[in-house]
Structure 1
Amino acid sequence: MTTRARRRSRSAVARRRLFAAVLALLLAVGAVVTAFGPLRRQFERALLPLEYAAIIREQARAKGLDPALVAAVIYEESKFQDRTSHAGARGLMQITPATARFIAARSGGSRFVLSDLSSPPVNIAYGCWYLRYLIRRYGGNETLAIAAYNAGHTNVDRWLRRAGGPQQFDPNVDIPFPETRDYVRDVARRRQQYRRLYAAELGL
């Protein structure tokens, strides 16, 4: 074999070895992705829990809401914990007694009892009713409704007037409260995450 032929042979062997190494690397990466894909999903679900999925599905369906939106609001409000805020808001969806009395009177429910707000079915039912009420109040504009859920409709109405109406309203500019700006953004992001991670549980 000539020197040139030997060089060509060695070059061919080197190319085959390189190809085999690249192929092995790709197969290894594929195996890792396959193995760790479910683990990543489990990790994401651990960071973003979902509880009371059946109640959320039922109430969202009854009120014409996206279950993922309801789950996102609950997460941002209470992280699915039965809490009482410094302002007196209670339960999973952080409803104040005054708002609960308003909901009970408007929804034709029985006489409001403060302890009811610690009941997940009641709290989620009230929160979904109020969320639907706000969405309708703002002509289907969910961004305005979510802002009002956090800051109150009186504030949102004032911001709308300053902005010149819903069409001109920019939540990044026209919401003066940093907490509410973050809340609107975070609810929107969590909503998409819940849709991706819990589609089956939420009936999506």
Structure 2
Amino acid sequence: MKKLIKRIIFIVIVALMITQIPYVLKKIYPLKHWEVINENAREYNIDPYLILSVIKAESNFQTHAISHKSAYGLMQITGSTGEWIAEQMKIENFTIDQLYEPERNISMGCWYIDNLRKEFGDNMDVVLSAYNAGRGNVQKWLKDEEHSKDGKNLYYIPFKETDKYIKKIKVNYKVYKFLYSKEY
């Protein structure tokens, strides 16, 4: 009888854990700024779950995040890149402080990912490597047979930080798709 009670208790605990996992994961992987993300992702033909994954990796949804490399806001855009993007997007009176505004930051981040995709193609590993390490570094890597065999794909990313970044985004993406793809 004691064994049966222990088994029942174990089954109940496991069942509770399984049913609560999505709830807990949704707290860790939120849909903050979903409307803005979805709108901008659609405008630039980018998967909105990818944008969520980038924001999760870059700032963990902290609108006033500043990196050690002076990148700002949700999508961690540097001041110089922000100024260049603003010029390309024809945003008048742009200031660095606008990078703390979720709508502005997400819009500029999506535009930038789209801009990188136009240069590097649809391989998101290459695009996101350029987003993280800079387009100049990725251009060099693609020309180096040690990093790219075909000049289009990266087989080896020499920056550990960028390699970890790509892996983190892939995990984030899988979790976001698992949690929300049936809802949105």
Shared fold, TM over 0.5: yes
Counterparts of 2:80 and 2:167, CA distance in 1 = 26
Partner SS state of residue 72, structure 2: coil
Higher mean C-alpha deviation, range 93-102 or range 31-40: 31-40
Corresponding residue number in structure 2 for 1:169: 154
**Contact 1:143–1:184 (Cα < 8 Å) also in 2:** yes
**Is 1:195 matched up with 2:170?**
no
Q: Counterpart of 2:77 in 1: which secondary structure?
A: coil
Structure 1 residues 198, 111: CA separation in 2 closer, same or farther (over 3 Å shift)? Answer: same
Normalising by structure 1, report the TM-score: 0.78
Aligned: 1:143 with 2:125: yes
Which structure would you say has the larger Rg?
1
Correspondent of 1:65 among 25, 31, 46 = 46
Alignment of 1:74-153 (within 5 A): 74-81=55-62, 82-153=64-135
> Aligned partners of 2:32, 2:57: CA distance in 1, in Å?
13
Can you give the 5+ residue segments of structure 1 that lack an aligned partner in the other structure?
Answer: 1-20
Question: Structure 2 length normalisation: TM-score?
Answer: 0.86
1:155 paired to 2:137:
yes
Gaps in structure 2 of 5+ consecutive residues: none
1:47 aligns with 2:28: yes
Structure 1 counterpart of 2:17, from 26, 36, 44: 36
CA distance in 2, matches of 1:169, 1:40: 35
Residue 67 of structure 2: SS of its match in structure 1?
A: coil
Distance 1:102 1:168, change over 3 A: closer
How far apart in 1 are the matches of 2:104 and 2:152? 35
Q: What is the CA deviation profile of residues 27-82 of structure 1, one whole-angstrom value per residue up to 9, with x for unaligned ones? A: 87765555433311112222333311111111111111001100000011000012
Amino acid at match of 2:154: F
Which structure's residues are more often helix, by fraction? 1
Contact 1:56 1:70 in 2 (8 A): yes
CA RMSD of aligned residues (A): 2.2
The one-letter code matched in structure 2 to 1:169 is L
3-state DSSP of counterpart to 1:59: helix
181 and 35 in structure 1: CA distance in 2 versus 1, 3 angstrom threshold: same
Mapped partners of 1:149, 1:111: distance in 2: 24
**Runs of at least 4 residues of structure 1 off by over 4 A?**
27-34
Contact 1:50 1:80 in 2 (8 A): no
What is the letter of the counterpart of residue 132 of structure 1?
Answer: D
Change (3 A) 1:200 1:113: farther
The range that moved more, 102-111 or 31-40, is 31-40
